[in-house]
Amino acid sequence: MTEKTFRLPDVGEGLTEADIVQWKVAPGDTVAVNDVIVEIETAKSLVELPSPYAGTVSSLMVAEGDTVDVGTPIISVTVGSAAGSTTPEETPAPASPAAAPVSAPSAAAGDAPRASLTGTGPKPDAVHRRPRRSAPSGTPASSAAQAPEASVPAPSGKPAPSGTAAVQDRATRLIQRVLAKPPVRKAAKDLGINLEDVTATGASGEVTKQDLMSYQAQRESERGSAGGFRFPGSAADDSRIERIPVKGVRRATANAMVESAFSAPHVSIFVDVDASRTMEFVKRLKASKDYEGIRVSPLLILAKAVIWAAARNPSVNATWAGDEILVKHFMNLGIAAATPRGLMVPNIKEAQDLSLKELAVALNTLAATAREGRTQPADMRGGTLTVTNIGSLGIDTGTPIINPGEVAIVAFGTIKQKPWVVDGEVVPRWITTLGGSFDHRVVDGDLSARFMADVAAILEEPALLLG
């Protein structure tokens, strides 16, 4: 009988921690390889982790609701044979590639931008990664039944780790590497700031001077407010006040919105649109046998209109990278979704290549997955332009905040009947208001106006999509 310990893996996004949402097993339960043992929440989404072992659950090492670091032991399993086993301190990669494997990115991947849904802004509460503990002396070597040995350069004078230990060492070193230019590193050293605690927003995933300044400002603000005198009966002592911990998706979203609001110079414009023909078009689609079983709404026409208008005005589908503007000649259309876990912005990949029916199916799938809290990190990475449907809540319009890494967002207000002048006569029409926010470093007034006019033109006459 051998005791195996499973450590919390990095689920592929370079994250440092996760919340334990729900255990699917209890001590004494029998598990097989790939059985789901726990549901965790990262800053991106909910993820189910499979068991890498077959055996009996010995103990659950962390409680539901706890926030733990990547690499922390979370569960131990007793297996029946020591053959092909690792040491109790080692954790093999989960057996199922589809169920969040331990990330071991290539050296080239370490230079790529860090992926984030909304991950910007200072993160003073980031938890340091715990250093990996070496196996105790005398531990038997892993057998051939383990993961294949990875080739990892060993420090001078030290033997290279083998098997799963090598993969973990390599992944840990790559994840812990922080990109920053020498002046930023020096400034961080002078300020006593650990660069691992600073959220990077640079185009190549590096910590910028602005990131450092934002972090320092947040740290000073927290220091100034710490230890203050509390008056009796204040909010801190009021039992009628519910306290909700800010973590996971909500914390990532909050940091992102603060960073976006204060780093990108927002400019917003609005346009009233006669969407009567859009309403008629949606009605015909709902009655069509081609769309049987597919939920169709005016949001579908707006999404198609945004794709069409962005193709005519490519610079709204871009990223500000400091010394250059990255114009994307493809559309990963983000759809802001309000869920019980907070705001999420999954995106539809390569939306420009989808037919109207395919886009409708994609919107249905995106909405259902978000409502269930099953949106995967990859679905929220790489968005290029976002739509937020505030009209579904009965709101006429608003000034949305641009999703980090993008330069434009369109808010879709409610559609309602209003008096409208047509050929000199006042008649009831279906009217909506579009609100667009733009990063003025990339999108000036003329471009934003032309883009919004193109979107409005499709809502006024959907037949233009067929041209």
Instruction: Kindly state the tokens that stand for 270.
Output: 């609005």
Q: How many Å apart are CA 300 and CA 107, to the nearest integer? A: 41
Terminal alpha carbon distance of the chain: 70
User: Could you give the CA distance from residue 244 to residue 226 in angstroms, rounded to a whole number?
Assistant: 19
- Give the H or E element holding residue 168: helix 163-176
DSSP of 345-386: --EETTGGG--HHHHHHHHHHHHHHHHTT---GGGGSS--EE
Q: Token pair 């598990």 is at which residue?
A: 31
Q: Are strands 55-60 and 30-31 parallel, antiparallel or unpaired?
A: antiparallel
Specify the DSSP class assigned to residue 59: E
Using a 10 angstrom Cβ sphere, with 0-12 exposed, 13-18 middle and 19 or more buried, the burial of residue 397 is buried
Write 18-21 long-range contacts (CB < 8 A, 24+).
Answer: 18/42, 18/47, 18/67, 18/68, 18/70, 19/65, 19/66, 19/67, 19/68, 19/247, 19/248, 20/62, 20/63, 20/64, 20/65, 20/66, 20/67, 20/68, 20/74, 21/46, 21/64, 21/65
Catalytic residue among 128, 266, 329, 440: 440
367 in Cβ contact with 379 (< 8 Å): no
Alpha-carbon gap, residue 277 to 295, rounded angstroms:
18
Task: Decide: helix, strand or coil at residue 179.
Answer: coil
Side-by-side strand order, sheet with 67-69: 46-50, 36-41, 17-23, 67-69
Give dist(CA 337, CA 342) in Å, integer: 8
The reply to whether 440 belongs to the active site is yes
Q: Strands 318-320 and 325-327: what pairing?
A: antiparallel
Q: Which residues are catalytic?
A: 440
